[in-house]
């Protein structure tokens, strides 16, 4: 794992967008894992800007989102399909047929989960998985006690997640109580993971995810098992990291990061 601490949220977001852009330019057929949430909105805004100003090309890229609410059709503006269409897909030259999210309206949800895993496998696996982190440390909707080897499945949302995401719904009583999410095991199979967290409210959980013991109670701790995981934070989200000085030293001295400094 590598941890990169940037001075502010804009600098952290910009770095994440630059890493994605570099991977996409190196491999136009990139299989990109995507995330939703407030933090990701600025990443997608950066990618859209790079598409417009720098001709960043998404035409051959395939995408797989981490999760989707159960019971929301893609046209519902609270669905993650709607979020992705709005923030990224409709604003770049991606072929919508190459964009995948689990279908939360499927009649047979277990079959849908199995199908999703198969489509990922048929695409050759995920090259780069973008990740946010919930305040309780979930990746996707891998709520506390999600098995570290779990696969795509239906999860009941925890009270903490319901509280965290309720403000995003016009009527929070209509918020779905379940979601389909890639499993922790599915996420760990991606060839590279890139986690972005910004803001004071993520400081405690980032310290636990990066430096705490690996536990199924906090699915983000499983990233410590990944062979190529980059965690990008701003100063506030990184403010409780014990090893901050060491992580800064690595970033300042590691040749791989030279072009990003």
CB of 87 to ligand GLP, least distance (A): 12
Task: Give the residue with the Cβ less far from ligand GLP, 35 or 56.
Answer: 35
Per-residue contact flags (x/-) with ligand GLP for residues 107 to 146, judged by CB under 6 A: -------------------------xxx-----xx-----
Interface residue with ligand GLP, options 8, 28, 29, 38 (CB under 6 A): 38
Please tell me whether residue 5 binds ligand GLP under the rule CB under 6 A. Answer: no
Do the beta carbons of residue 117 and residue 151 sit within 8 Å? yes
Helix (H, G, I), strand (E, B) or coil at 2: strand
In the numeric block, the tokens 């009270």 are attached to: 159
> Smallest distance from the beta carbon of 11 to ligand GLP, in angstroms?
17
Interacting span for ligand GLP (CB under 6 A) from 19-27, 36-44, 51-59, 109-117: 36-44
Nearer Cβ to ligand GLP (52/86): 86
CB of 150 closer than 8 Å to CB of 183: yes
Instruction: Kindly state the smallest distance separating residue 141's Cβ from ligand GLP, in Å.
Output: 5
Q: Which of 129, 152, 161, 219 binds ligand GLP (CB under 6 A)?
A: 161
What is the rounded distance in angstroms from the CA atom of residue 115 to the CA atom of residue 6? 39
Decide: is 187 part of the binding site for ligand GLP (CB under 6 A). Answer: no
- Contact flag: residue 33 with ligand GLP (CB under 6 A): no
Q: Exposed e or buried b for every residue in 104-121, given b needs 16+ CB within 10 A?
A: bbbeebeebbeebbeebe
Q: Under 8 Å CB-to-CB from 62, ≥6 apart: which residues?
A: 29, 30, 31, 32, 98, 99, 100, 123
One character per residue 55-94, x = contact with ligand GLP (rule: CB under 6 A): -----------xx---------------------------
Cα(178)–Cα(169) distance, integer angstroms? 15
Sequence-separated (6 or more) residues with CB below 8 Å from residue 107 = none
- Using the minimum distance from each CB to ligand GLP, give the nearer residue, 44 or 141: 141
| Minimum gap (Å) between residue 185 Cβ and ligand GLP | 16
C-beta of residue 137 within 8 angstroms of C-beta of residue 205: yes
Q: Are 69 and 80 spatial neighbours (Cβ–Cβ below 8 Å)?
A: yes
Residues in the site for ligand GLP, rule: CB under 6 A? 35-39, 66-67, 132-134, 140-141, 161, 165
């Amino acid at each position: 794992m590598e941890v990169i601490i940037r001075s502010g949220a804009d600098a952290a977001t910009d770095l994440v967008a630059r890493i994605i852009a570099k991977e996409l330019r190196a491999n136009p057929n990139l299989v990109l894992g995507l995330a939703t949430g407030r933090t990701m909105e600025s990443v997608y805004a950066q990618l859209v800007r790079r598409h417009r100003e720098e001709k960043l090309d998404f035409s051959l890229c395939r995408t797989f989102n981490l999760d989707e609410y159960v019971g929301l059709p893609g046209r519902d503006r609270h669905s993650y399909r709607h979020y992705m269409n709005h923030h990224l897909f409709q604003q770049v030259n991606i072929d919508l047929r190459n964009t995948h999210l689990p279908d939360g309206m499927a009649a047979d949800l277990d079959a849908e989960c199995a199908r999703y895993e198969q489509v990922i496998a048929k695409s050759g696996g995920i090259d780069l998985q973008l990740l946010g982190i919930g305040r309780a440390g979930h990746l996707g909707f891998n709520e506390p006690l999600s098995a570290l080897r779990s696969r795509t499945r239906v999860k009941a949302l925890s009270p903490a997640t319901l509280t965290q995401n309720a403000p995003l719904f016009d009527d929070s009583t209509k918020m779905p109580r379940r979601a389909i999410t890639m499993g922790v095991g599915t996420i760990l199979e991606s060839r590279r993971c890139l986690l972005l967290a910004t803001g004071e409210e993520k400081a405690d959980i980032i310290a636990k995810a990066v430096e705490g013991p690996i536990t199924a109670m906090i699915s983000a701790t499983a990233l410590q098992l990944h062979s190529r995981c980059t965690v990008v934070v701003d100063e506030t989200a990184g403010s409780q990291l014990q090893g901050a000085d060491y992580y800064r030293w690595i970033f300042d001295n590691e040749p791989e990061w030279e072009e990003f400094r």
